[in-house]
Structure 1
Amino acid sequence: MDRGIATEENLVWLRAQGYRYLVVSRERQRQFDADAAIAIQTAGGDPVAVQRVLDAEGGEVRLYCCSERRAHKEEGIAERFCTRFEAALQALHEGLARPRTTKRIAKLLERIGRLKEKSHGVGQHYTITIEPDAGGVNAQAIRWERRPVDGTLLTHPGVYCLRTNEPTWDSEQLWRIDVMLTDLEAVFRSLKSELGLRPVYHQTAERAEGHLFITVLAYQFVQIIRRRLRAHGITRGCGPACARSSPANAGSPPPSAVPTGAPCMCARPPNPNRRSWRSSGHWAATPPREVCIK
């Protein structure tokens, strides 16, 4: 179950109904012990370390995962937010030496508070002090120091937690079941983009249901194509396959791009007698493009 709906109330209901679940924890505190973790490799060969912790009181198993790729991504995001936050503080400090700028301590505290609200959480990692002048009303300097709070994005980048009430599954099985959600998200993304699930322009329920039926049926064909491509050693996602078979991409791929004997996506050439959306102002009945596996 996705993190967005894995609230404590929903989990209590699932346990009361006797359901098993595997969810991404919504807890904000991050923790990870590298010495107690085991290494797992993703399908792309990226290392992931997982630490299994048994919560006997709650009857759950928590799996703390640390991904190097995710860590690099989160480190870059955090550094960008920190740089932006420090640049705003520097602008306030430099404004103290210029005329017609904010110098009153009370106003500066308000502006610093607004900066923390817009800092995407990085403001909690800074200790900010305002040095008053001799009168004690205006400020003469603003000082700050970065002190990362333990258990947060800055100290534990790339760490997330899975929780489940199924204690018989081992660590690798738990992690690989959760990874299936990534493929499901790619499925919904393809349904709403390449396969045209949205937007739905129909006005009647029967036509909308027919639209959805055709879209889901198209996805079944995409899954068949993906399985056949994987059987031939091609592991690209369904996005490139759908994009290549899109009416916007006329013609077949160049022969140099397709190895001899490898499966390829073949497209039916466009019909010049068909009117397009751009020229006629309505959807043309363009024949579907053919995708075949050689």
Structure 2
Amino acid sequence: HVFPGNTADKSTLQKVVADLDRRFGLRRVIVVSDRGLVSEQNLDFLSGQRFGYLLGVPGRRSDEAADVLKALADSQWQQVDQGNRVQEIRLSGKKTRYFVIDSAERRCYEESMRQRSMQRAKEQLQKVVAAVRSGRLKDPAKIGARARGALSRNHGHRYYSWEVTGPGQFNFYEDQEKLAAEMLHEGKYILKSNDRHLTAIEAVACYKELNTVEQGFRDLKDVIDMRPIYHKSDERIEAHIFVASLALFLKRT
């Protein structure tokens, strides 16, 4: 399938899945996708067609993800391989199954990035403190504006809180509640599925196969140099992509 460049990813799923079902009549279908295709309309469509799905759940800004992470139990982890473990979560009142994958490598990386962001945000807030103490910044509204500006960079609002108690009075501190919530996300990603038969280990294996697909797109762009496309007619654009896809197939075989 080749879609116009301005097509939203979420709008492509139903057409592609329906076409695959029409052409091949598959008895069991599990659609595996990253977060980019998750929408209520797509989930309703897949469930209505009796298709299974295994989808990534949006992270830090999602109430759904927060509820899943709060339900984790230290004793329920299953080891997948070295450095990776998985836990299935069921939320009260929901038929959806959730799988939380915890990666030691990813956790180490995200912890390092958080510490770097915290240090940079702290340095920006300390500049606000210095300006207040020197008397250059007195008005509470302006102090607040500077503090918000400092926290808007490096995700500082995720780790720090501040207060202005009066003219020329400013204080900031590590917000332990925010920090704990942030650390709970580190190293983890969440999958959701409506399939009743997938085991937690199988869910991880299926989702990892997305890496093969993503590597294929990277190869098309970087190794095969599919872009830029200089054709103007739809027919020639589709032919160009078809030849590039054949080249990818030959590369892999």
TM > 0.5: yes
Residue aligning to 1:178: 207
Residue aligning to 1:9: 41
Residues 148 and 154, structure 1, Cα contact 8 Å, conserved in 2: no
Task: Give the count of matched residue pairs.
Answer: 213
Structure 2: distance between partners of 1:92 and 1:150: 21
Q: How much does 1:24 deviate?
A: 0.7
Residues 60 and 163, structure 1, Cα contact 8 Å, conserved in 2: yes
Cα distance change, pair 197–152 in 1 and its aligned pair in 2 (3 A): farther
Deviates more, 1:180-189 or 1:206-215: 206-215
RMSD of aligned alpha carbons = 2.1
Residue aligning to 2:171: 142
Question: What TM-score results when the alignment is normalised by the length of structure 2?
Answer: 0.76
| 1:37 pairs with 2:82 | no
Q: How much does 1:142 deviate?
A: 2.5
Runs of 4+ more than 4 Å apart: none
Q: How much does 1:55 deviate?
A: 4.4
Instruction: State the AA in 1 paired with 2:140.
Output: I
| 1:198 pairs with 2:227 | yes
Q: How much does 1:97 deviate?
A: 3.3
Residue aligning to 1:81: 117
Greater share of residues in helix: 2
Pick the aligned partner of 2:127 from 57, 67, 91.
91
Partner deviation per Cα, 1:179-232 (whole Å, 9 max, x = no partner): 1111211111111121112110123334323321210011001111xxxxxxxx
Question: What TM-score results when the alignment is normalised by the length of structure 1?
Answer: 0.66
Structure 2: distance between partners of 1:140 and 1:58: 48
- Percent of residue pairs identical: 23
Residues 164 and 170, structure 2, Cα contact 8 Å, conserved in 1: yes
Structure 2: distance between partners of 1:6 and 1:210: 30
Secondary structure at the aligned position of 1:21 is classed as strand
Structure 1: distance between partners of 2:216 and 2:182: 29
User: 1:1-294 counterparts in 2 under 5 A?
Assistant: 1-26=33-58, 27=62, 28-29=65-66, 30-31=69-70, 32-41=72-81, 46-55=82-91, 57-98=93-134, 101-120=136-155, 122-132=156-166, 138-149=167-178, 152-224=181-253
Instruction: State the AA in 2 paired with 1:154.
Output: M
Gaps of at least 5 residues in structure 2 are: 1-32
Deviates more, 1:140-149 or 1:162-171: 140-149
Deviates more, 1:145-154 or 1:81-90: 145-154
Which one has the largest radius of gyration? 1
Gaps of at least 5 residues in structure 1 are: 133-137, 225-294
Residues 126 and 148, structure 1, Cα contact 8 Å, conserved in 2: no
